[in-house]
Amino acid sequence: MTNVTARHVNETESDRRGIKDGWYAISQMGKICSSRFSNREDCQAQIKRERADIDTYRHGADILFTEPISRVRLVS
């Protein structure tokens, strides 16, 4: 969820999309990337948590792929 923002989907748009009106994480391309939230603050908090999870994952991958091969222990 790196390029998403919290946005309110009103009743007209929600009818068109076949969803309930409320707050959603929406990508730059307009794709809904979350479940429905009743308020903006909860939606933004979820976006922030998922971004932190992605950053943590990427940081772990960076460490894995930057370690010299002699230091990597294979598990079988």
pLDDT digits (tens, 9 = 90+) for 12-61: 999 999 999 999 999 999 999 999 999 999 999 999 999 888 888 877 76
Q: Token pair for residue 14?
A: 């929600």
Q: Token pair for residue 62?
A: 């960076």
Q: Token pair for residue 73?
A: 């222990």
Nearest to 23 by CA among 5, 38, 3, 44: 38
Q: Looking at the predicted structure, is the pLDDT value of residue 65 above 80? A: no
Cα radius of gyration rounded to whole Å, the chain: 18
pLDDT digits (tens, 9 = 90+) for 45-55: 999 999 888 88
Distance separating alpha carbons of residues 70 and 24, to the nearest angstrom: 46
Distance separating alpha carbons of residues 20 and 67, to the nearest angstrom: 47
